[in-house]
Homo-oligomer: A and B are copies of this chain.
Amino acid sequence: MIKVGIMGASGYTGLELVRYLVGHPAVSIGFATSESNAGRCLSEVHPAVPPLPLVAMDSAPLVEVDVVFLCLPHAASAQKAAESLSKGVRVVDLSADFRLKDAAVYQEWYGLEHPVPHLLGEAVYGLVEFARPQLCEARLVANPGCYPTSILLGLQPLLAADAAVGTIIADSKSGVSGAGRTPKLHTHFVEVVDNFSPYSIGRSHRHLPEIEQQMRCWNQDSPQLIFSPHLLPVPRGILSTIYVPLNNGWNEVRLYELYQEKYEAERFVKVLEPGKLPSLAHVNYTNKCVMGLTVAGGTAVITSAIDNLGKGAAGQAMQNMNVMFGVEETTGLRRN
């Protein structure tokens, strides 16, 4: 049995992670923390989860677990990661703290000095499909952001094939759970319902440097990205429509072959046949990424859908754990 702890269990990511973990046959939950709800039971916080006792972070029995999942705000996460590693506990961090390799870039985008920059080098960027070798031995895994997961899985084959010849555009649409559970005016039901809003478009969203860093890992000469997030009036799900100007000779059939070759052995990435397009209904409540491929006017239009709480957060975190601990990768992840 893998003994796990969850820090920050009462947010949407934490709640979803608990739901995944309780369905995992080889996991036992050692503790779950929530500062605002310590002493209560998780099912009092949300009716659709098991009645797990919640403790304050400081009284969590860290040493008793094999791995801790951090669903904490950035900066707070980095500190808990360092503490956990020092006690021999492996870490899957669902915050942004270990995704950027360069502490200066972190400071530029997150507005504060990185608390533990010496750990940045060791952190594995846990986009599982492209990180398995490093994950086996990893002590510290940076679980990718939700938008980056949807976009990077869609871009990798084209970048690796050196097929992109100009500015790439990712027009992404996300459900509201991605904005967190703390009540804000922009997540108020009356403001969101019947509405649809772009925000932080262009090159201003914090996920941009994370995505471009990974793009350059796959292709040093990768074109720049323009990334436009939008808020959808749905509780969960991300769909990214990605535009990639292609060099010569591509059509939908050849594109499909490229993607199939890359992904056909993957259990959580599904490439639809030419002419078919994904939707949130393909992926919600699953750990899957489903993609459609269109070519028009010399441009690839990749449509990529994930559940932001599944493959975009809690599902991928548990998938990372499975690989880290040598458990069959799909264990506990086959919902539906």
Contact of A188 with B194 in the complex, beta carbons under 8 Å? no
Binary CB contact string for chain A from 286 to 297 against chain B (1 if under 8 A, 0 otherwise): 100010101111
Contact of A194 with B228 in the complex, beta carbons under 8 Å? no
Contact of B202 with A301 in the complex, beta carbons under 8 Å? yes
Given A202-B301, A226-B301: A22 and B195 within 8 A (CB)? no
Contact of A234 with B234 in the complex, beta carbons under 8 Å? no
Identify A204's interface contact among B169, B183, B233, B296, CB under 8 A: B296
User: A280: CB under 8 A from chain B?
Assistant: yes
Contact of B235 with A202 in the complex, beta carbons under 8 Å? no
- How many copies the complex holds: the figure is 4
In the assembled complex, which residues on chain B have CB atoms less than 8 Å from the CB atom of A197? 239, 277, 279-281
User: A166: CB under 8 A from chain B?
Assistant: yes
Contact of B301 with A48 in the complex, beta carbons under 8 Å? no
* Interface-lining segment among A60-68, A106-114, A135-143, A173-181: A173-181
A187–B239 Cα distance when bound, in Å, is 19
Which residues from chain A sit less than 8 Å from chain B, CB to CB?
12, 19, 22-23, 46-50, 166-167, 169, 171, 173, 176-177, 181, 183-185, 187-199, 201-204, 224-226, 228, 230, 232-237, 239, 241, 243, 245, 277-282, 284-286, 290, 292, 294-299, 301, 303, 335-336
Going nearest first, the 10 A-B pairs with the smallest beta carbon separation are A202-B296, A183-B183, A197-B279, A47-B282, A171-B171, A189-B192, A203-B296, A176-B189, A202-B294, A189-B189
